[in-house]
Amino acid sequence: VNTRAAFSLLKKYDKAGPRYTSYPTVPAWSSEFDHEAYRNALARLPRGRRTPLSIYLHLPFCAKRCHYCGCNAVQGDGSKSVDSYLDCVERELELIGDALGGPSPATHVHWGGGTPNYLNESQIHRARRLISETFSVTDDAEISLEADPRLGTAEQAAMLRQAGFNRISLGVQDVDAAVQRAIGRNQSEGRTRRFYRECREAGFESVNIDLVYGLPAQTADSFSRTLEAVLDLSPDRIACFSYAHVPWIRSNQNAIDAGLLPSAQDKFSLFVQAVTALTGAGYEWIGIDHFAKAGDDLAEAYRARVLHRNFMGYTTDEGAAMVGLGMSGISDTLDCFAQNSSDLAEYQRALKGGALPTVRGHALTAEDRLRRAVITHLMCNMELPFDLTATRFGVRIDEKFKDEIERMRTFADDGLVAIEPEGLRVTETGRFFVRNICMEWDSYMGKSADRPVFSRTV
């Protein structure tokens, strides 16, 4: 990694910007897109084996709220609140099943949160059954969940495997005790190691670890110990997310001592440190913040430049529509996005009243779809062949987007992209700034300043 070049550009490019988990991004969506619009979008989805779906279920409950948490999570108050939440998920699935007009195949099922393994055994089996009653989950489906090692046991790992889960991501964030104190999350390394091993013994096909950089009290030394500890476990995939300090949006972050946060420069160094250590250990750098072992599906898709992403993360599946269930769940019917309420009470109220809990969404125009293909390909594959959209949209990028390509010249001058006859290539230094590059292709940029943009681009 050419760190000197990247550091010299940090000031110029470190600004607030979207993470492009969708295009257009959520701030551009409208509250006028309601449950009826979502219902109609579901009804338009083609059915049959060739159009499988990805299913996301949001389970917001956690044993205790961590100070740094940026997720849509709530502190659980026992199994009753989970049961009544699952009653609402059941209702939501009935409404979605009606709109779809019959069972559709699902090739990916992911449970995120919150802490999905906060649920007890019967709740886990119930939620799995509810999904299988609405969708025909294929035999070879990827069924994954996020889990908190502090709640994990060998029995739970075995039960999750028996319930059909084949991939698991363990929240670690940082193993250093000072960092854990600063973020309100005590999780001994021994505990993490034990649950990791128990997941391996239970036979999960893929055991992954999530880290966060830019946390309070994190230093180059402490983070290097974290990276070593994680590499020692040898997970299949590692996500290394950027911490976004936004206490005006996430009030739980007020418990963080802002004086302990690393400077922008130090935070960037932490990420460079992660990239250097993980790629040095043989992991392929995927997208902006993921790493996968060579030979992993994602690593192979990236090498072949056919990687994709959706709200659940990076994927090898192109064009699978997504149904998001639960509070804050996001759906992507390929021509529309729809989001459920992020307020637990509002989510439950809508469903008890018999309506889908949609609070905002967006119907994609033809131009949105084209720009979406461009931005997704740039974010995932670090290149933009000018003929990328020729077959699907009948449009060559160098003919349609002359202004955008012109704007790439500044990035080329800074060594972030190479403009070649057949397309653009994001350079090694440019990878750190790929969100800035994508912002030039985003026609909504700057048009929704009234809504929050969640994180710094670097």
Q: Which residues bind ligand SF4 (CB under 6 A)?
A: 62, 65-66, 69, 71, 73, 113-115, 148, 171
CB of 115 to ligand SF4, least distance (A): 5
Q: Which residues contact 37 (CB under 8 A, 6 or more apart)?
A: 336, 338, 358, 361, 363
The answer to whether 283 touches 274, Cβ cutoff 8 Å, is no
Nearer of residues 183 and 299 to ligand SF4, judged by Cβ: 183
Strand 308-310 to 74-75 pairing: unpaired
Nearer of residues 243 and 291 to ligand SF4, judged by Cβ: 243
Which residue is associated with the tokens 């639960």?
326
Nearer of residues 151 and 229 to ligand SF4, judged by Cβ: 151
The answer to whether 272 touches 279, Cβ cutoff 8 Å, is no
> Maximum distance among all alpha carbons in the chain?
61
CB of 104 to ligand SF4, least distance (A): 29
The contacts found for 424-430 with CB under 8 angstroms, 24 or more apart, are 424/378, 424/383, 424/384, 425/382, 425/383, 426/378, 426/382, 426/383, 428/1, 428/2, 429/2, 429/5, 429/6, 429/9, 430/382
11 burial type by CB count under 10 A (0-12 exposed, 13-18 middle, 19+ buried) = exposed
Residue 183 has, within 13 A of its CA and on its CB side, a CA count of 28
Nearer of residues 45 and 71 to ligand SF4, judged by Cβ: 71
Nearer of residues 99 and 256 to ligand SF4, judged by Cβ: 256
**Amino acid residing at 67:** H
Residue 184 backbone class (left: φ over 0; alpha: ψ -120 to 50; beta: rest): left
Q: Which residues contact 404 (CB under 8 A, 6 or more apart)?
A: 440, 441
Nearer of residues 183 and 274 to ligand SF4, judged by Cβ: 183
CB of 211 to ligand SF4, least distance (A): 12
Nearer of residues 147 and 417 to ligand SF4, judged by Cβ: 147
CB of 375 to ligand SF4, least distance (A): 27
Q: Which residues contact 80 (CB under 8 A, 6 or more apart)?
A: none
CB of 294 to ligand SF4, least distance (A): 29
Nearer of residues 53 and 62 to ligand SF4, judged by Cβ: 62
CB of 65 to ligand SF4, least distance (A): 5
Distance CA 376, CA 455 (A): 18
**Amino acid residing at 173:** Q
CB of 151 to ligand SF4, least distance (A): 9
Which residue is associated with the tokens 């551009």?
28
CB of 440 to ligand SF4, least distance (A): 33
CB of 76 to ligand SF4, least distance (A): 9
Nearer of residues 71 and 388 to ligand SF4, judged by Cβ: 71
CB of 270 to ligand SF4, least distance (A): 18
Strand 74-75 to 104-113 pairing: unpaired
Nearer of residues 153 and 162 to ligand SF4, judged by Cβ: 153
The answer to whether 69 touches 250, Cβ cutoff 8 Å, is yes
